[in-house]
Structure 1
Amino acid sequence: MRKTLQLRSKLVLGNLLSVALSGLCGWTVWFSLGEQQLWLAIVVAAGVCFLLSMWLTQTLHDSLKALEVGLLNFKDNEFSVSLHGYGEPQLDSIAELYNQASAKLRSERQFIYQRELMLDKVIQNSPNIMLLVDDNQRIIYANDAARHLFNQGVRIEGMLLGDLIAELPNALKEALNSKHEGLFSIDATNQSSATTGAEELESWHISRGSFSQNNQQHHLILLKQLTKELNRQEVAVWKKVIRIISHELNNSVAPIASMVNSGRLLTKDVGNDKLGLIFDTIENRTAHLSQFISHYAQFAKLPLPRKAPVDWAQLVQQLAQQYPFKLISELPQVPLELDSVQLEQVLINLLKNAHESGSEKELVTLAMQDVTHPVSGIVIIIEDSGSGMSSEVLSQALLPFYSTKQSGTGIGLPLCREIVEAHGGHITMQNRTKGGLSVKLWLPKE
């Protein structure tokens, strides 16, 4: 209340002084100059009063003008202007409140901006496809995954959705054109699958949403490919089954092996050759079963990769000592950090399969290529001139327990796939046009 009275007192005092000055001037002129100069004195007194009032209210005028400019800046979302003090407690209090509001709005806008940047970063790096379109089906916003699906990584904002999906598979095109949500499948040749050259069923999910902004209706479309996720879940189920079976079998094999040793000790003086043959057979079969279990346990308990820079020359030399091949490319120049032990295990398994495919040894080849698109990394290609694989075998070759070999465990290729995917890569298999099989491993730099 004290501050209000100070400013109000100054304004009242200025008015009183003006009135007093006018009266004094009029009285002086009346008595000294007479009635003829009274009107001139009144005009002079009024002018002096006006100038005095202007001088007394100048600070108030300046502060209100500055506040007006600041509020106009607020209206334009500009919060960088601050007000200074004027020596008047009430005006200084208003200026301080304005500065506090400006600082808070600046802080909140910066916080919102940082959250928008973080959200955009998350959306752009998401593997899910995100599209925002208007009522005319014109693209307003798209993330990186959408640009790669529709336009090979080129910006698509401003383009029509109908033009972008013209070359897509029919099932995907129909899902985008319809208003429905949920799961749908695509039968298409998938160049990144183990069944390259044959049709593969891809599972997708589409969801939609709508909202209004700036009096315009916007439509959000989200596409998610579920094939890889379902494959991971399938592998996880296989691992769980293998762990359970391995546990139960080990609980049975260990007592059998122990009983065989006890039986040998108890019957060592009997001298019956048939008993020895029985014990040998039981011992051999339990040892084979234990080895069989250990192979599956290795797949079910694969450790995480321990990455370190790869010495490609040393790796190739070690591989050639076990299974001969012809190196038909230069060694990679891109530095990569991988688990060399696990990678060597994968390549040995693939070279072993190539040698067992019926191919001539000198026609088994190994090539390595540096790649930069879509992600920097390396592609390792192993090819043979054997009998290849049928479409049915190709579609199941990477599944655990599946094998076309009479003595195979069906765990070699699934283990290769598990190791490669643990490094963030993928494995593909394709029959060659000239006969034989081509296996490609793609491993990212990071």
Structure 2
Amino acid sequence: MFAMKRTAPTERWLVGSALIALFPVSGIALALVWFAAFPEKIRWTVTAAVIGANLWFVHYLTETFVTRLRNVSSLLFSMIEGDYSRQMRSVESSQSLNEIVKNLNALSRKLSSEHTGTFESHALLEKVLDQVDVAMFAFDDQTRLRWSNRSGTALIGTSANRGKSAEELGLASFLAGEVPRVGEAAVAGKRRRWQIRRTPFREEGRPHILLLLSDLTEPLRREERDAWQRLLKVLRHEISNAVTPIASLVDTLPRIIQRPEKNPDWQEDLIEGLAIIRSRTAMLVTLMKRHRSIAGPSRPKLKMIEVAKQIRLVAAAESRIAVRLEPGPEVRLPADPEMLDQVLVNLVDNAVESALLGDGGVILRWQAFPSRGLFELEILDSGPGIANPEHLFVPFYTTKPDGNGIGLVLSRQIAEAHGGALSLHNREDASGARAILQLPLVPLRDPPIPSG
């Protein structure tokens, strides 16, 4: 229908143009026949022949060119409809029309190839998204569900829910608020902890929203369970080391006292056994104190301090080696002086102990980044480096004979309680370790409560 409406005026124009072009020749021929002394029969025969020739020529012209144009229109209409399988035959009688046909056939093949590639890419993307363990939903501008991956479909029920609104699916709350964020919400009757992300996109010119929901409940529980297991393993080892000798002595000492015939040195054995019990009991008390400290420091009492001055004091107090300072700017920032001093002492002490195993060098340098609102202290040592970086912040883990395994953990908790961060890495420019302490230059409205 589309092609017919477009070609009918073209046909009339082409027929009219052909008749106008033939009129002078035909008119002259007929005038010569009718005004010359020809018999009547010849006049009518020639007239019929001229008219017939004109009609045949017009018919041929129409069938040849208009049919080709209709085929071109039909091919274009097929491509508009997404059918790229059709091809036109060459037109040897018209070079111009043949060029058009060749270009249209080439365009059809190119579109067919791109359509196939797009379809295959889309199918691959669908398979990949179905394997992702994140629920994904696409909503249109009316917040109606248009697509979901396998995880999303499993979360809301069946694919029959497509077309329903976010309100009906219980997902409306996820389409509002800041992202990314983590929050608890009930979906399909199950209350879980979600990481929520959104991103806008357009399809066929209309705005859509892609919603991504990651279920954090199981990973968080698994991480919490693993943390408890690690802690219990350490506590079990520490308590076993303390209690085993006590249990043995509690069983042995009464026998020494109850013997009818006592050894001359039985009193010394008794005193020695009680001393061991006292020592192991003190170890348990120390263990409990360590456990309380690792549960996290209290909220920092912030006040503006001269952090560079505090760094110099800690460096000057070190007597084992000379700590080298590379002074930075004089900076005032909000911090708890006692807590910050504890962090600085821990970090410098670790660096010095490590440097004593190397060539004895420790460097402290600092700088401020006002545009980022950040102060950064760098502590470099020339020791052997970090052998087990994955255990750096594991509670009670230590490689020192007299270490308690809580210094770095506590230091990081204090840094985070100030809204900062603490990280340790092996140096890339030389042997040794590099500790970076970052603190905010501006006070936090509500300093975070350290996690326990």
Q: TM-score, normalised by structure 1?
A: 0.43
Q: TM-score, normalised by structure 2?
A: 0.43
> Relative contact order, CA 8 A, sep 6+: which one is greater?
1
